[in-house]
Amino acid sequence: MQIGIVGLGNLGTAVANLIAANGHDVLGWEYQAPVVGEINASHANTRFLPGVALSPRLRATTALAEVFGQAEIVFVALPSAFLSATLAPARAWASASTLLVNLAKGIDRTTGLTSFQTLAQLFPAHRKVMLSGPSIANEFAAGLPTVVVIAGPSTSDLLLVARALDNEHFRVRFSDDTIGVELGGILKNAYVIGLGMFDGQRIESVNFRSVYLTLALEEMTRIGVSLGARPESFAYLAGMGDLLATSLSKDSHNRRLGVLLASGLAIDAIERQMGVLPEGYNTIQTILMVAEKLHVPAPLAKGLWDVIQGRRSAERFIYSFIRDFVD
C-alpha cells in the first residue's frame, strides 16, 4: 500500500516510520528542505525525532503534489494553524479515492472549526478518518506499547487504516464518534496547562493532582457533549487516555506554558520565550466561547484564563480551585 504523510514533524515522522516499518511505501511531505534531505540521505530526522533510525521505505519530498498523486491514504500531521494554507492547493491533486486521516488537533480561531472540520471543508467529497489518543511520538517510535482510537463512519475505511498502523506494539481501536474522539485530543490541551502550574509551584501532591484531573475530565465531557460528542468517548482513550498521557509527559508544550505562568511571566513574555503559544492557549478561548453561548459551566477553563490574563495568580488558582470549582 502506498501511504502519504503531510508534515514530518515529531508526530508525523513517528507515524510515517511506523507505517514504513510495517512494510508499506511511505512518501512524506515537509516544508523544510534540510529535513527532507536528511531523511532521504541518512534515514534520520535529527531535528524532530532524534535518535531514531528511519526505515528506508520512508522517503521525503517538498512537492505536495507528489504525495497526493501517489498515495492511497494520506495522513495529515500538520500544526492546525497551517492546515488550510498548506492543503488548499492539494484539492487539485487528490484522487477521488484518496482516504484522508487527520492527526492534527486544534481549533481555528478565525473560523471556529476544528482541524477535522477544516479538512472536511477542504475535501468535502473525500473519505476521512480521525486519529487521536495517548500517542507520545518519542515513545511509540522507540517501540513502546501504544493504543489509539480511529473514528469514522465506514468500518471498511477504519480497517484499511488499521492495516497500515497495527503491529505488535501499536494498536488501534474503532469508534464512529468522530467529534468526540477529536475533541478529547483538543480539549485536554487547555487543562494540561493547569498541571504545569502545579509543577511551577512545586506541588507534588497526588491527591491534589487527582482531584484536578477528575474535574478537568468532567468539564471536558460537558463541553464535548454540548458540541455533539458522546460522553463515553471522554471516558476512553481519546479523552481520559490522552489527558493522562499529556499530563504525565514532561515534553508537553501546554504543560510548559503552565510552568512559565506559575513563575510569574506574562503571556507576551512567554510567547517570546516559546516562539509560539501552544494549542491549549487558543483552546481555552474556544471553551469559554462555547460555554457562554451554550450555557455550559466551565469554571476551570475560566480560572486558567484568568491566570493567563493576569487577573489571578497561579498560586491563587491552585489553592482555591477546590473551594471555587467543586459544587
Give the catalytic positions in this structure: 188
Instruction: Give the CA distances from residue 51 to residues 14, 135, 139, 305, in Å, rounded to whole numbers and listed in that order.
Output: 12, 18, 12, 37
Query: What is the 8-class DSSP label of residue 98?
Result: P
Distances 250 to 62, 222, 260 between C-alpha atoms, Å: 31, 27, 14
β-strands 146-151, 127-132 pairing? antiparallel
How close are the terminal C-alpha atoms of the chain, in Å? 53
Residue 36: closest CA among 53, 57, 61: 61
What gap in Å lies between CA 302 and CA 221, rounded to an integer?
16
Q: Cell 508526530 identifies what position?
A: 11
Q: What is the dihedral of CA 12, 283, 300, 135, to 10 degrees?
A: -10
Cell triple for residue 307?
Answer: 491566570
CA distance 246 to 263: 21
DSSP 43: S
Cβ atoms of residues 69 and 149 within 8 Å? no
